[in-house]
Amino acid sequence: MKKENTEVVEVLSEKGEVIESELVVSLSKSYQFEGKTYDKIDLSNLEDLTAADMIAAQKVLDRSGSFSFNPELSLEYSCIMASKATGQPLEFFHGLRPKDALKVKNRVTGFFYKED
């Protein structure tokens, strides 16, 4: 199981200014979950996931009765992968505000389809 990752990843620009990683999602409003407050979600551990993690996410979708020709584009699949990357339970992502849930979905989907 992945360790919980709550640190914000910082990247330095060419001028030495601190900028956030594209895999850090800033929430529109502070989010309370299990007694902790979150302002950001660090998805940088997506880089450490494997095809086996993707297959496991697909099995979760299959068991739930969800079907999609492109599951990696669905909100549920993105939440499952974000859960695997952060170590947070799936319920953490299910409780996000819609605007923030879509930010997570877009970052996860963008990560999968981004060209190097």
Structure-model confidence comparison of residues 38 and 4, the more confident one:
38
What three-state secondary structure class fits 30? Answer: strand
Does residue 64 register a pLDDT over 90? no
Per-residue pLDDT tens over the stretch 2-30: 434 434 445 444 555 545 578 999 999 99
Query: What residues does each domain of the chain span?
Result: 10-113
The pTM for the full model equals: 0.79
pLDDT at residue number 6: 38
Torsion of CA 110, 53, 98, 42, to 10 degrees: -70
Tokens coding 6: 């709550």
Mean pLDDT of 35-53: 95
Tokens coding 75: 């909100």
